Amino acid sequence: MDFLTLFLVYLCFVLIVTALLCLCSGRKESFLARSVNRASQVLSLVIPTQLQRLTQRVTHRGTPSLFHTRSCLFVVLHIALQAAVFGEYTWEVFGYCWELQFHLLLLLLPYLLLAGNVGCFLLCSRANPGIITKSNHASLVKVYAYDGVMFQRGTVCPTCTMEKPARSKHCSVCRTCVHRFDHHCVWLNNCVGASNAGWFLLYLLSLTATAAALAALTVAFLSRVVLLSNVMHSTYLDAQGQEHPVEIPFLVQHLFLTFPRIVFMLGFVILLTLVLGGYSAFSLYLAFTNQTTNEWCKSRRFGVSHHLSSQPPDRQLVYKNIYSKGIWRNLKEIFRPPTALERKKK
């Protein structure tokens, strides 16, 4: 089917672009910049000089400023995508489902989840993630113990010129050290640290639930339409004039031709549910084990070639998570970060 082929190409394109954005965001010189530079060198005899200069300005100035400085571009994109999806849901799906006598609470569920998601988004994006300053540095150093492997006492941040507290990291985007640093989220335009990790987890879970609710209601509407039309018991004629019973590929194409915007939105929210569901499961795993994304990534490298200076060179360094205290206490720490006074009492 031509439609199915184009739709699969669209899904693959979205996944590839997302992967490239993730890869580019972590490098000083992005993949996009290097590709454009190499192409301009090969085509330097054809491309005019002024166009080459313009391309260099875009790749050398625009790309680093996009991925390595705080920008509201992804926040605006985030809001635009939500507005487009809910606009289509309100304009068509909600009206059709109301005519088919769907329960009102089911139809209002995505809006309730959206309200909670927007609240978590604002609290997480506007909150102080746990920026380390000279005034709070002394107290934050005492919150977590140094494990001697991933976090060692006496390590000084070369930018902030302060000793790094355990579980902290300097964010090159925000240009500051963050207590219990998890990662910098471009969709929030803010870091995720000790002070807003709980709101980020709720934001991620509510966003996943919103996408899943939209997908489930849309599937329920299309299924009701198929049952009422009795199209599954019909037949169709192919290009050669031969009669065939209706199958799933033909049914999908038929629904797309009948409700193109709804089916397109359904494909997007299903993809979003799968991606966010996987990320939510990973974030819950980190919360249950009291790890951050930064710590999990760093722990993959230990036991291979890193050694403590006090250990023999032929002994592998094994990382052990000393911060995990059980699932419930770990979850409590996400939503109520410990202080130096609490650790002193313990």
Looking at 124, 177, 185, 191, which residue is catalytic? Answer: 185
The token pair at 165 is 């507290």
Strand partners, 156: 163
Q: Catalytic residue at 185? A: yes
What interhelical angle do 248-258 and 260-288 show, nearest 10?
110
Strand partners, 184: 191
Long-range CB contacts (< 8 A, 24+ apart) of 17-26?
18/275, 24/63, 24/67, 25/67, 25/186
Burial profile 42-78: b = 16 or more Cβ within 10 angstroms, e = fewer? eeeeeeeeeeeeebeeebeeebeebbbeeeeebbeeb
Task: Write the CB contacts of 263 (distance below 8 Å, at least 6 apart in sequence).
Answer: 222, 252, 255, 256
What interhelical angle do 260-288 and 73-88 show, nearest 10?
130
With contact defined as beta carbons under 8 Å apart, do 210 and 276 qualify?
no
Burial environment of residue 326 by CB neighbours within 10 A (0 to 12, 13 to 18, 19 or more): exposed
Please give the distance of CA 210 from its chain centroid, rounded to a whole number: 15
Amino acid letter for position 170: H
Residue with tokens 């194409």: 253
| Measured distance CA(300)–CA(83) in Å, rounded | 38
Q: Catalytic positions, please? A: 185
